Structure 1
C-alpha cells in the first residue's frame, strides 16, 4: 500500500495498481467489509469509508477508481486461485515433505519386505517344492515304481490269477498317474507291493496248542440264532517258528487286518475232532493244517474249510 508523509502531495499511481490496492485494503479491513457491505447502499458506504482510509494516508483516490476496486473485489478478479492438483505438483510436494513421511514409508517398506520374505520361505517356496515333487513323482517315480512292482509279481509266480491282477493294477496305476491322481496311483503301487509280498511269503498254518489258550471256538451267527459256526484258532509261522502276519478278512463284519492269529472256519466234525484230541491228553497230535509256499497265492489245507475267518473270539 502506498504511503505518504502528512502534508505531502499524493504520488501519481497507475489506476490499475490503485484499484488492486483498493481491493487489498478491503480484504485486510475485515471490519470494513463486514459492516459496509451489508444492507442497501453498501457500495456507497464502502466508497466513503475507503475514501476516509486513503485520506488519512494522504492519498486522494477518484470515485471511479474506488468503484473499480469494489467491483473487482466482488468479481474476484485480483484473487489468487490455486491450480488443481497435478501429478507434477504432487511429486514436488511429496519431495518437499520427504523428511516428514520418509521414515514412515521406509518402515512400511521394511515391513512389506519382511512379510514377503516370511510368506515366500514359509508358504510360497514350500508349495512350489511340493508341487514340483508331486509332478516329478507322477511323471517319473510312480510309473517306474508301478512297473517294478508289476515285474516283481511276474517274477514271483506262474499262476494266472495273480499275474492278471498285477496287469490290472499296473494299468490302473499308470492311468491315474497320467491323470494327475496321486492318491489312486499310490494306492495301486501299494496294492502291487502287497500282492508281491503275499506271493513271496511262505508259512505254515497250525492250530494254537498252548496251556490256557483256546484251540477251537464256536459262535452263534446274528443272522441265524439257531445255528452255530465252528472255528479252529490258528496261527501262521515261518520255518523258524516266528509269527507271520497275513491279511485276514472277518466274515462277521468285513474288517480287514494283518494278523498272525485268527479263527478259521471248519465243519462241526473237524471242530469235534480237534476238541476230543486236546481233551484226551492236552496235546493236539496233528497241529499243522495248512501250508503256504512262495509263488502261490493260496494256502493248501489238510482240513475241510471254506476259508471263512474271524478276528476275535
Structure 2
C-alpha cells in the first residue's frame, strides 16, 4: 500500500451546506465585505452566520461555516463568465445553434444552389453561346457566302450575276471581320435571293380575265404633258401557277411583292394589245416575255420602256 493516504472527500450534504453558506454571504455581500474588511475576528462573522441559520431552524457546524467563508474568499462555487472574444462568440453560436441553425442552413443551401446554377450552368451556357456566335460570325457566315458565290458562278449564264455576287461576298466578309453580324447575315440573304432569282423560270403574260384591267394609262405628276402607257402582266411557272414577285414601283421607288403589275410600254404596243382584246375579247398575243434559268432578267418579246408600277 502507498504511504500517502488520500484525504477523504467531504460528504455531499456538507458540500451543499458550504455552497449555501456562500450563497448566503453573496446575498448579504454588504455584511461579508464589511466584516472581512475590518479587524473584527472571524468569530464575529461566524456568530452572525450561525444566528442567521438558527433563525431558519438549521444548525450548521462551525467547520462548514468556515468552509463557506473560505470558499467565498477563494471565489469557489462562483461562476465567472468568460471574457468576450472570438472563441467565446463561437461557443455561444454553437450552444444556440438550434435557434438559428435551420434558417441559416436554408439560406446557405439557397445561396449554394444559386451559386451552382449561376457559375455551373448559366455562365458556361452564356460563354458557350457567345463562343458559338463568334465562330459562326468568323467562320460560318463567310463559308456560306463562299458556297453561295460558287453556286451562282456555276449556274449563271450572265456575267452580271458573277459581278454582283463578288461585290456582295466582299462586303459580307468585311462585315464579318468587323463583327457586324447583322450586316453579314443581310449579305447572306442577298446572295441567297440572287441565287434564287437565277433559278426562277416563268412566263410573263398579259392579264386577260374578268375584273382585272389588261392595260391603263396615266399622266405623271412631274410632267403633265406626257402620258405613260402600261400593260398589266403576271408571271406563271411551268405548271401555270401565278407567282408573286418583288417589283420596283417607279412612282414611289418602293419594292413590293405582287402577283400582277403594270409594265410601261410604247403607245403603239399599248394600242396593239387593246385592239387585240377588243377584236374578240381574247388577247391572242399575250406572252410579253420569258424568264429562263440562269438569267437575271426577263427576255421580252415586246418593246418595253423599263418601268413598272404596282398600284393604279
* TM-score normalised by the chain length of structure 2: 0.68
Cα 1:245–1:121 shift into 2, 3 Å? farther
Partner of 2:297: 298
Q: Secondary structure at the match of 2:141?
A: helix
1:135-181 CA deviation, whole Å, 9 max, x = no partner?
23223321221111000110012422211111111112222222222
Residues 145/212 of structure 1: CA separation in 2 closer, same or farther (3 Å cut) = same
Task: Give 1:134 shift.
Answer: 1.2
Secondary structure (helix, strand or coil) at the match of 1:247 reads: strand
TM superposition outliers: structure 1 runs of 4+ over 6 Å: 54-57
Q: Please list the CA deviations of residues 106-149 of structure 1 after superposition, one character each: whole Å capped at 9, or x if unmatched.
A: 11123334445665799545534432331232233212211110
Distance 1:210 1:121 in 2: 67
1:108 is aligned to: 107
Q: Is residue 231 from structure 1 mapped to residue 239 from structure 2 by the alignment?
A: no
- What residue number does 2:197 align with? 198
* 8 A contact 2:82–2:88 mirrored in 1: no
The corresponding residue for 2:3 is: none
Change (3 A) 1:106 1:166: same
Give the whole-Å Cα distance in 1 for the aligned partners of 2:279 and 2:249: 31
- Note if contact 2:153-2:162 (Cα within 8 Å) is conserved in structure 1: yes
The answer on whether the counterparts of 2:215 and 2:274 sit within 8 Å (CA) in structure 1 is yes
Q: Deviations over 1:71-107 (max 9, x none)?
A: xxxxxxxxx9975544x44333322322221100111
Residue 98 of structure 2 is aligned to residue 99 of structure 1: yes
Aligned residue pairs total 254
Match of 2:266 in 1: 267
Q: Which residue of 2 aligns with 1:174?
A: 173
Q: Distance in 1 between matches of 2:120 and 2:283?
A: 66
**Unpaired runs of 5+ in structure 2?**
1-24, 49-79
- After TM superposition, the score normalised by the length of structure 1 is 0.68
| Match of residue 285 from structure 2 | 286
**Paired position in structure 2 for 1:131:** 130
Partner of 2:64: none
Seen in structure 2, the aligned counterparts of structure 1 residues 212 and 143 have a Cα distance that, compared at 3 Å, is same
1:1-313 aligned at under 5 Å gives the runs 25=29, 83=83, 85-86=85-86, 88-116=87-115, 124=123, 126-225=125-224, 227-313=226-312
1:253-292 alpha-carbon deviations (Å, 9 max, x no partner): 2222333421111233322222222122111121111122
Aligned residue for 1:174, secondary structure, equals: helix
The Cα offsets for residues 15-46 of structure 1, whole Å up to 9 and x where unpaired, read as: xxxxxx99x946x99xxxxxxxxxxxxxxxxx
SS of 2:272's equivalent in the other structure is: helix
Report how far residue 298 of structure 1 moved. Answer: 2.0
Q: Secondary structure at the match of 1:231?
A: strand
Q: What's the secondary structure of 1:284's corresponding residue?
A: coil
- In the alignment, the residues of structure 2 paired with residue 180 and residue 147 of structure 1 have an alpha-carbon distance, to the nearest angstrom, of 18
In 2, distance between residues paired with 1:281 and 1:120?
Answer: 80
Q: Distance in 2 between matches of 1:272 and 1:120?
A: 76
